[in-house]
Chains A and B, each alone.
Chain A
Amino acid sequence: MRRLLLVGLFLVGLIWALMSYPGLANRGEYQSIVLDFREDLTDAQIESELSTIAQQYGVIPRPNSIFSKTDHVYILDGNSQLLKTLRQSDLKDYTESIDANYIYQAFAVPNDPGYVKQWNLKSISVETAWDQTKGIGVTVAVIDTGVSQVPDLKKTKFVAGYDFVNDKKDASDDNGHGTHVAGTIAQSTNNNYGVAGIAYEASLMPLKVLSASGGGTIVDIAEAIRFAADKGADVINMSLGGGGDTAILREAIDYAHSKGVVIVAAAGNANTNAASYPARYPTVIAVSATDSSGLKAPYSNFGAGVDISAPGGSKVNGDAGGILQETIDPESGSAFASFQGTSMAAPHVAGVAALIKSVGVKDPDAVAEILKRSAHAIPDDTLNHFGAGLLNAGEAVKLAQRENLDVKDFLRWLRDNGYFNLKFWFDGGVVALLPKIAMVLGSYLLAWFLRGYLPLASLSLGSGLVLGSSGLFFLRGFYIFDLPQFPFRVLGSSIAELGGAIQGSALLNPIFASVLIPFCLVAFLLGHAQWKWFAIGSTLGVASCLAVSAAIDPGMAWLGTGMAARIFLVINTLLCLGLGYLAAKAAHSGTRTEVL
Chain B
Amino acid sequence: MITVEGSVQRSGMGAGTWALVTRDGTSYEIHPGAPKDLLQPGARVRVKGEVREDVMTIAMIGPVLEVKSFELLE
Contacts and interface: CB of A to CB of B under 8 A. Distances in A.
- The answer to whether A and B assemble together is yes
Interface of A: 144-145, 175-177, 210-211, 213-219, 221, 239-244, 246, 266, 268-270, 272, 276-278, 299, 301, 315, 339-343
Nearest to A241: B60
Nearest to B55: A215
Contacts, number: 95
Contacts of B64: 215, 242-243
B61 A215 contact: no
Contacts of B60: 240-242, 266, 268-270, 276, 301, 341-343
Contacts of A272: 62
Contacts of A266: 60
Contact of B58 (A177, A217, A243, A299): A177
A241 B13 contact: no
A246 B14 contact: no
B55 A243 contact: yes
A177 B16 CA distance: 10
Nearest to A337: B15
Given A270-B60, A270-B62, A217 B55 contact: yes
Given A214-B58, A240-B58, A269-B61, 8 more contacts: A145-B58, A214-B15, A215-B31, A215-B57, A241-B60, A243-B53, A268-B60, A270-B62
A177 B12 CA distance: 12
B56 interface: yes
Contacts of B14: 175, 177, 214, 339, 341, 343
B9 interface: no
15 contacts: A175-B14, A175-B58, A177-B58, A213-B17, A214-B17, A214-B57, A215-B64, A219-B54, A240-B58, A240-B60, A242-B64, A243-B56, A243-B64, A269-B13, A343-B13
A241 B12 contact: no
B56 A270 contact: no
A185 B12 CA distance: 22
Contacts of A219: 54
B13 A277 contact: no
Contact of A218 (B29, B56, B61): B56
Identify which of B52, B54, B56, B57 gathers the most chain A CB atoms within 10 Å of its CB.
B56
B13 A240 contact: no
Interface range, B side: 20 to 34
Interface string B39-74: 000000000000011111111111110000000000
Contact of B13 (A145, A210, A211, A299): A299
A43 to B, nearest CB: 69
A177 B14 CA distance: 6
B8 to A, nearest CB: 17
A215 B15 contact: no
A340 B13 contact: yes
B58 to A, nearest CB: 4
B17 to A, nearest CB: 6
Interface of B: 12-15, 17, 27, 29, 31-32, 52-64
A289 B13 CA distance: 12
A246 B58 contact: no
A218 B29 CA distance: 17
Identify which of B17, B52, B55 gathers the most chain A CB atoms within 10 Å of its CB.
B55
Contacts of A175: 14-15, 58
A552 B73 CA distance: 56
Identify which of A215, A217, A272, A276 gathers the most chain B CB atoms within 10 Å of its CB.
A215
B54 A246 contact: yes
Contacts of A340: 12-13
A216 B62 contact: no
A277 B61 CA distance: 12
A246 B54 CA distance: 8
A215 B12 contact: no
A248 to B, nearest CB: 9
Contact of B53 (A144, A246, A269): A246
A583 to B, nearest CB: 45
Contacts of A213: 17, 32
Identify which of A218, A240, A241, A269 gathers the most chain B CB atoms within 10 Å of its CB.
A269
Contacts of A269: 13, 59-61
B71 to A, nearest CB: 24
B12 A277 contact: no
Nearest to A214: B58
Contacts of B58: 144-145, 175, 177, 210, 214-215, 239-240, 341, 343
Contact of B54 (A210, A211, A243, A341): A243
A342 B53 CA distance: 20
Contacts of B61: 268-270, 299
Nearest to A221: B56
Identify which of B17, B27, B59 gathers the most chain A CB atoms within 10 Å of its CB.
B59
A340 B11 CA distance: 11
B64 to A, nearest CB: 6
Contacts of B52: 243
B15 A216 contact: no
Contacts of A211: 32
Contacts of B63: 242
A334 to B, nearest CB: 15
